[in-house]
Amino acid sequence: MSRWQPDARGRMLDAALELFAEQGYDRTTAGDIATRAGVTERTFFRHFADKREVLFAGPVLLDEVVVETVGAVDPEAAPWPVAIAAVREAAARLGAARTPAQAAQRARIVAQTPALQERELLKMASMTSAIAAALVGRGVAEPLANLAAHSAVAVFSAAFARWASGEEDRPFEQCVDEAASALRELT
């Protein structure tokens, strides 16, 4: 693969997922990923601090997406539709950047390695805090902002499991709508 091919970052993301699945996360080095993606190690480290960050840095910056989305929603909207709009947009962006099979592969790799699980929990906690802070910025009081943010991320997680299972051929954001309905019926 030529190093002049476009989207080196995307190729590194794909290569990392392939290699982690083929030979295990622990046995894969940054150099392996660079080689498979047809880039130099230097290019790898320009994009990612280490191999772990390949799984967490891309392809979508969830915190930014949710904060932008909350800021763009009609100021009169109630907290829950705003929180759901935030995770729905995060799902739409992630669904555009990844196939369900790729997302499922990443989830399997994360589930196999405790250090990656912790990093994943931090990522979800960070998205939760970002949504809660953005809601507070809209004048929603605590602990309602936190409750809405936590519950919206619960919806996101359930939607992710459904979408990544690949059992039904529906966009991730539609799975979010369905999970939000399921929660409403549940409670």
Residue 25 or 156 having the CB closest to a copy of itself: 156
**For a copy of itself, which residue of 150, 172, 173, 176 counts as binding (CB under 8 A)?**
150
For 79-94, letters b (16+ CB in 10 Å) and e give bbebbbbbbbbbbbbb
- Residue 115: CB partners within 8 Å, gap ≥ 6? 52
- Whole-number Å distance between alpha carbons of 73 and 68: 9
Per CB under 8 A, the segment of 9-17, 40-48, 94-102, 142-150 that binds a copy of itself is: 142-150
- Whole-number Å distance between alpha carbons of 51 and 56: 9
Question: DSSP letter at 143?
Answer: T
Interaction of residue 142 with a copy of itself, rule CB under 8 A: yes
Interaction of residue 107 with a copy of itself, rule CB under 8 A: no
Q: For the chain, how long is the longest CA-to-CA vector?
A: 54
**Shortest CB 8 distance to a copy of itself, Å:** 31
User: Any alpha helices (H) in the chain, and if so which ranges?
Assistant: 8-23, 30-37, 41-47, 51-57, 62-72, 79-97, 100-112, 114-137, 144-165, 172-186
Interaction of residue 151 with a copy of itself, rule CB under 8 A: yes
**Shortest CB 149 distance to a copy of itself, Å:** 8
Interaction of residue 135 with a copy of itself, rule CB under 8 A: no
Residue 109 or 153 having the CB closest to a copy of itself: 153
Residues that bind a copy of itself (CB under 8 A): 78-80, 117-118, 121-122, 125, 142-144, 146-148, 150-151, 153-155, 157-159, 161-162, 179-180, 182-184, 186-187
